[in-house]
C-alpha cells in the first residue's frame, strides 16, 4: 500500500483553494481526477497544469485527486508541488512567471502606517488584499499557519510573491521564530520580498543570523534588491533588548511589538486600557527612535469595533508610534485616517513650511514665523506632516499654489 499524500484545504468555508491527494503508483501513467467548481470553464487548463508540473518533477505514475473550489493557477501549482515534495526529495521548484509589476522595491523610510496580516495558507484572502490600499501586506508563515501546514504554506507564499499583485503595498513576510524561520528564507528571499518580520526577537544575534542567511541566498541567486527587517518584540527579554535589536543592522527599518505574547510572558492579560503594556510600548518607541527607525504598534483584534480602533490609533499616535498592524481590510481606512495629522496639525505645518519656503526664496538663513525662530528639525517634522496629510488625502498636493 502506497502512502496517501495530501495538501491544501477543503471544507465549507474554503474558497479559491484546492485539496490535492496524491498516490504514487507503479504503473498506469498519470491519472487525474478533477472535481472542480469551475471545471466546465477551466477544467482543461487545470489538467494541463497538473500534467506539466508532475512531469517537471519526474513523476510518471500516480493517481491524483484535485478537489478545487476555484483556485487560481498559483494556488493549484503550490498545492501540487507541496504534495509532490512529500514523496520525493528534490531541490527543484516549479516557478510560475514573476509578474513584472511585482518587481518594485521600497524605501527605508516609506510609510508603514498599516500592515495587513494574511494567514499564509489561506489563499482566498490574497487576491484582493492590495486593492484596500494598506501600506504593507504580510504573508504570515508563523502563528496563523498550523504546524502541519508549514511546508505547504511556504510554497504558497513563494508563489504568491511571484503571482499576486499587491498593488504597490510593501511586500512583507512574517517568518517563523529563529532558528526555524531561517529555513523560510529560501522561499522568499529570491522572490522580491521587501521586508521580513522577525517574530519573538530577543537579541541582535538573531538579526545577524537572518542577515547572514539572506546574504548567502542573495549571493547564490545574484539578488541585489534591498530586504528590510522589522523585528517583533514579544517578550520581557525582547523589551529589555529593544535598542540592541533596533540598532543591530542597517536594514532594520522598524521595530514593532506583539502584545498577545508579551502580556502572556509577563504573566498578565491584555486589557482594553492597555496599562500592562504601557511600559513595553514606550520602550519600543524609545528604542526605535534612538536607533533612527520607525516604531510600529501591535494589532487591534476586534474587527467589528471601529470606534474602539479609532481610540487605540489616537493613543498609539500620541505615544509616538508611526503605524500599527491590522487583521481586517476595514481597519486600514481608520488607521490611515487617524494616524494622519489632524487639521490643527496640518494648519500649523503649512505655516511652518510656507515660512521655510519664503525664507529660502529670500535667501535667508533663518526661518521665522511671527516673532518665533523655527529650528530645522521643526521644519523637517512639519514637512513630514504635510507629506502624511497629502498621502491621507487630507491635503491637496498643490496646496501651496492654492494658498
Partner 1 sequence: MNKMTKNAIGRKIPTEINGKQVIPFQGVGKHKATGRKFAPKISSCADYPLDGDKLVPSLKEALIKAGIKDGMTISTHHHFRNGDLIANEVFRIASELGVKDLMWFPSASFPCHEPIIEYLKDGTIHHIEGSMNGPLGRFVSLGKMKGVGVLRSHGGRYQAVQDGEVQIDIAIIAAPTADPFGNANGVEGPSACGLLGFALADSQYADKVIVVTDNLIEFPCIPWQIHGNYVDYVVKMEQIGIPEKIVSGTTEITKSPDRLLIAELTAKFCEEAGLIRDGFSFQAGAGGTALSIGIFFGEIMRKKGIKARFARGGSNKYLVEMLEEDLVEYILDGQTFDLEGVRSMRDNPRHVNTSPFTSYNYHGKGNFAGMVDIVILGATEVDLNFKANVVTHSDGYLLHGIGGWQNCLFSKNVILPIPLFRDRIPVIRDEVTTICGPGELIDIISTERGIAINPLRKDLIDKMKDSKLPIKTIQQLKDEAERICGKPKAAEFEEKIIAAIKWVDGTVIDVVRQVKE
H or E element at residue 67: strand 62-68
DSSP for 293-349, written as a single string: SEEEEEE---TT-HHHHHHHHHHHHHHT--EEEESSTHHHHHHHHHHS--HHHHHHH
Shortest spacing between CB 86 and partner 1, in angstroms? 25
Shortest spacing between CB 253 and partner 1, in angstroms? 27
Residue 111 in contact with partner 1, rule: CB under 8 A: no
Taking CB under 8 A as the criterion, the residue among 29, 33, 41, 373 binding partner 1 is 41
Using the contact rule CB under 8 A, the part of the chain among 38-46, 150-158, 172-180, 245-253 near partner 1 is 38-46
Residue closer to partner 1 by CB (options 9, 247) is 9
Residue 15 in contact with partner 1, rule: CB under 8 A: yes
Terminal-residue alpha carbon distance, the chain: 79
Kindly write out the interface string for residues 67-96 of this chain, putting x where it contacts partner 1 by CB under 8 A and - elsewhere.
Answer: --xxxxx-----------------------
Binding to partner 1 in span 43-62, by CB under 8 A: 43-45
Tally DSSP H helices, then E strands, for the chain: 14, 14
Residue 268 in contact with partner 1, rule: CB under 8 A: no
DSSP for 216-278, written as a single string: HHHHHHT--S--EEEEEE-SHHHHHTHHHHHTS-TTB-EEEE-HHHHHHHTT----SS-GGGH
Shortest spacing between CB 287 and partner 1, in angstroms? 34
- Please report, for residues 210, 307, 310, 330, the alpha-carbon distance to residue 338 in angstroms, rounded to integers and kept in the order given: 34, 11, 7, 14
Shortest spacing between CB 41 and partner 1, in angstroms? 4
User: Can you tell me the distance from the alpha carbon of 54 to that of 62, in angstroms, rounded to the nearest whole number?
Assistant: 9
Following CA atoms 163, 169, 170, 171 in sequence, which dihedral angle do they give, to the nearest 10 degrees? Answer: -20
Residue 329 in contact with partner 1, rule: CB under 8 A: yes
Taking CB under 8 A as the criterion, the residue among 38, 88, 264, 306 binding partner 1 is 38
Shortest spacing between CB 294 and partner 1, in angstroms? 26
Pairing of strands 114-119, 62-68: unpaired
Using the contact rule CB under 8 A, the part of the chain among 32-40, 229-237, 313-321, 341-349 near partner 1 is 32-40
Residue closer to partner 1 by CB (options 134, 238) is 134
Residue closer to partner 1 by CB (options 70, 320) is 70
Q: Is residue 59 a contact partner of residue 30, using CB atoms and an 8 Å limit?
A: yes
Residue 16 in contact with partner 1, rule: CB under 8 A: yes
User: Can you tell me the distance from the alpha carbon of 318 to that of 95, in angstroms, rounded to the nearest whole number?
Assistant: 45
Residue closer to partner 1 by CB (options 330, 400) is 330
Binding to partner 1 in span 154-193, by CB under 8 A: 165
Binding to partner 1 in span 293-312, by CB under 8 A: none
Residue closer to partner 1 by CB (options 18, 382) is 18
- Please report, for residues 68, 69, 95, 102, 333, the alpha-carbon distance to residue 137 in angstroms, rounded to integers and kept in the order given: 26, 24, 21, 13, 14
Kindly write out the interface string for residues 116-135 of this chain, putting x where it contacts partner 1 by CB under 8 A and - elsewhere.
Answer: -----------xx--xx---
- Please report, for residues 55, 108, 113, 209, the alpha-carbon distance to residue 322 in angstroms, rounded to integers and kept in the order given: 49, 14, 6, 27
Shortest spacing between CB 124 and partner 1, in angstroms? 8
H or E element at residue 170: strand 170-174
Taking CB under 8 A as the criterion, the residue among 328, 351, 384, 394 binding partner 1 is 328
Residues that bind partner 1 (CB under 8 A): 15-16, 37-38, 40-45, 69-73, 127-128, 131-132, 165, 328-330
Amino acid at each position: 500500500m502506497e502512502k496517501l499524500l495530501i495538501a491544501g484545504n477543503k471544507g465549507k468555508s474554503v474558497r479559491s483553494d484546492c485539496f490535492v491527494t496524491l498516490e504514487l503508483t507503479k504503473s498506469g501513467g498519470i491519472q487525474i481526477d478533477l472535481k472542480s467548481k469551475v471545471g466546465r470553464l477551466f477544467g482543461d487548463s487545470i489538467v494541463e497544469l497538473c500534467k506539466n508540473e508532475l512531469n517537471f518533477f519526474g513523476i510518471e505514475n500516480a493517481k491524483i485527486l484535485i478537489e478545487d473550489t476555484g483556485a487560481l493557477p498559483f494556488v493549484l501549482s503550490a498545492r501540487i508541488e507541496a504534495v509532490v515534495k512529500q514523496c520525493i526529495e528534490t531541490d527543484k521548484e516549479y516557478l510560475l512567471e514573476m509578474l513584472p509589476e511585482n518587481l518594485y522595491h521600497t524605501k527605508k523610510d516609506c510609510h508603514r502606517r498599516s500592515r495587513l496580516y494574511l494567514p499564509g495558507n489561506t489563499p482566498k484572502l490574497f487576491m484582493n488584499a492590495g486593492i484596500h490600499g494598506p501600506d504593507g501586506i504580510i504573508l504570515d508563515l508563523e502563528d496563523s499557519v498550523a504546524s502541519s501546514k508549514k511546508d505547504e504554506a511556504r510554497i504558497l507564499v513563494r508563489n504568491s510573491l511571484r503571482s499576486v499583485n499587491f498593488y504597490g503595498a510593501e511586500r512583507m513576510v512574517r517568518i517563523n521564530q529563529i532558528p526555524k524561520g531561517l529555513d523560510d528564507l529560501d522561499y522568499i528571499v529570491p522572490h522580491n520580498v521587501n521586508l521580513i518580520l522577525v517574530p519573538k526577537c530577543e537579541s541582535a544575534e538573531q538579526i545577524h543570523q537572518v542577515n547572514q542567511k539572506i546574504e548567502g541566498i542573495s549571493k547564490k541567486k545574484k539578488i541585489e534588491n534591498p530586504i528590510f527587517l522589522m523585528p517583533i518584540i514579544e517578550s520581557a527579554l525582547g523589551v529589555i533588548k529593544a535598542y540592541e535589536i533596533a540598532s543591530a543592522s542597517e536594514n532594520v527599518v522598524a521595530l514593532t511589538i506583539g502584545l498577545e505574547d508579551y502580556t502572556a510572558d509577563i504573566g498578565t492579560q491584555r486589557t482594553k486600557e492597555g496599562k500592562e503594556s504601557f511600559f513595553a510600548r514606550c520602550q519600543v518607541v524609545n528604542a526605535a527612535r534612538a536607533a533612527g527607525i520607525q516604531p510600529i504598534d501591535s494589532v487591534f483584534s476586534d474587527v467589528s469595533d471601529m470606534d474602539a480602533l479609532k481610540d487605540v490609533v489616537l493613543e498609539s499616535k500620541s505615544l509616538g508610534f508611526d503605524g500599527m498592524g491590522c487583521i481586517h481590510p476595514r481597519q486600514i481606512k481608520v488607521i490611515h485616517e487617524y494616524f494622519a495629522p489632524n487639521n490643527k496639525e496640518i494648519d500649523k505645518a503649512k505655516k511652518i513650511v510656507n515660512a521655510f519656503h519664503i525664507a529660502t526664496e529670500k535667501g535667508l538663513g533663518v526661518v521665522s514665523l511671527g516673532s518665533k525662530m523655527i529650528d530645522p528639525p521643526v521644519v523637517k517634522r512639519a514637512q513630514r506632516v504635510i507629506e502624511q496629510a497629502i498621502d491621507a488625502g487630507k491635503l491637496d498636493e498643490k496646496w501651496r499654489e492654492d494658498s
